[in-house]
Amino acid sequence: MPTYKAPVDDVKFLLNELLDVEQLCKLPGYEEATPDLINTIVEEGGRFCEEVLAPLNQVGDSVGCTYENGVVTTPPGFKAAYKQFCEGGWPALACATEYGGQGLPAMVRTVLEEFMCASNQSFGMYPGLTHGAYHALDEYGSDELKATYMEKLVSGQWSGTMCLTEAHAGTDLGIITTKAVPAGDGAYHVTGQKIFISAGEHDLTENIVHLVLAKLPDAPPGTKGISLFIVPKFLPTEDGKPGTKNGVTCGSIEHKMGIKGSATCVLNFDNAKGFLVGDAHKGMRAMFVMMNGARLAVGIQGLGLADVAYQNAVAYAKERLQGRALTGAKNPAGPADPIIEHPAVRTGLMKMKALNEGMRALAIWIGIAIDVEQKHPDPDVRAAHLDLVALMTPVIKAFMTDIGHENTNIAMQTLGGHGYVREYGMEQFVRDARIGQIYEGTNAVQAMDLVGRKMPEGMGRLLRRFFHPVNELIEQSMADAEMKEFAEPLQMAFGRLQQVTQLVASKAMGNPDEAGAAAEDYLAIMGYVAVGYMWLRMIKLSREKLAAGGNGKATFYETKVITGRYYMTKVLPQVHAHAARIAAGSAPVMALAADAF
């Protein structure tokens, strides 16, 4: 059975030493979010995930959710764990105090999401969807809707979903057919079918609040005609309790490759009573609040699974005895040496470690940027951080889930045949990780968002929010003789990123296929450079700490420098292969006639 240990020490290093988490308690509304309080929450959140959620992960996979006559039952232990989760106040962590939340920074939830996804991704889906519904209602819901639903969502007493996809309409939401007809009393009758609805039906909460995309009778065509409605499973009574059953039922649940403890449902809406969220025909604006948050959360899922897979691969590699080390026996008293002594095994372990720690730093950096964007008193500072978050949202979603899938596969390979069987749990991590590249907009869609929307926005304004600090750090580091070895690879990779940015922008103006053919490679380059930027920051800080004596953590800082060197020399050069693919253009992609496939 796999085990999990929350990376609390690494998170504390990032928060307290690298990224200055103390800046958050200086923001209006976050005065009580001191580093000491945040550290305590990180520790307790890690403990909860280790002790309560992780032991349920394999049973969630082996038993899964069951469906009978429209009723979905979650795996054994999930309901009790969810009760503990709510009693501990975890759903309310980063929610506004006016709704009963704790009013803590969004960054704290970023950390908790990694721990939850690493320990039990299926479980984490339920509160994750609810938090997304909370955000959409907080920004666009009427006072009446907020009074009815927000406290219940914040406490976890009720849960939420996002209902977008239809059988014929996935990415192309403009062609959805779900209808909403005015009921004459301010409400609407919603009719249609939605598929792939995570947490659409379950037994964890007494009510489920669905946020549903639908079209009014006078809707203009395409996405400009989409409205957003709140459709509860049970219509709330005047005293805030679940009342009459609404016209929404679960028609079935999907039988999936992974995340089997999360119910993925077909939902049928039959004249279900719904209530408009925001303005008519402006539903996509409100739904994107949920979608963008979900995309960042899915990226964190990739990180969490990559890390738990790495932890178990390391444990196995230290214990598994096979062959002798190439440089001589390291375990002369035994029949063979641990496989961690073999370069082929170490290559995989080092790659996982370097990517995981770099991605964690990137995720928390952007998590803090979200809080600054929301709370800083200076509108120019808020705008700058909003641009950075917008740029990095598709990168975090796609890059981290691509790497999550890659790293779980490396971990499984480390265990050899034992990785392929269920007992060791590694094959579950691979299966669970695969969905991250698909849902909340496939990674190809994220790449097109980056190249087609984010790259040209404001004549490159979003790119400059990232390029400028990267360039500044590289210049500072190149001027330091002892940092030059680490800065040079990033300088070359960053230069390549700048080159392909200009190349893609110029070629795509004449032929849009050039942007489409380059998009996924461009996003990968952006991801590798962003992680490289975080590593250069971590290396610089670790070297400074070592020069000052290490403060009792010399081994930790030395390990950071060694791991960072591996990233710069062994991982970051992949940028140049991606750049070569972009330079080859769209012709090799589009040359073959469709009927020749």
Catalytic residues: 440
The amino acid at residue 35 is: P
Distances (CA, A) of 243 to 235, 238, 239: 5, 9, 10
Q: 156: phi > 0 → left, psi -120 to 50 → alpha, else beta; which?
A: left
Work out whether the CA dihedral 228, 231, 235, 236 comes out positive or negative: negative
Query: Residue 597 burial by CB count (10 A; 0-12/13-18/19+): exposed, middle or buried?
Result: exposed
| Rounded Cα distance, 432 and 14, in Å | 27
Q: Residues near 84 by Cβ (< 8 Å), separated by ≥ 6?
A: 48, 52
In three-state secondary structure terms, 201 is coil
Q: Residues near 18 by Cβ (< 8 Å), separated by ≥ 6?
A: 361, 537, 538, 541
Q: For 156-173, b where at least 16 C-beta lie within 10 A, e where not — what string?
A: bebbbbbbbbbeebbeeb
The helix (run of H) or strand (run of E) holding residue 593 is none
In three-state secondary structure terms, 570 is helix
What DSSP string runs through 476-494?
HHHTSTTTHHHHHHHHHHH
478 beta partners:
none
In this structure, are strands 158-163 and 207-215 parallel, antiparallel, or unpaired? Answer: parallel
Judge contact between 486 and 568, C-beta under 8 A.
Answer: yes
The amino acid at residue 457 is: E
The amino acid at residue 381 is: V
The radius of gyration of the chain's CA atoms, rounded to the nearest angstrom, is 24
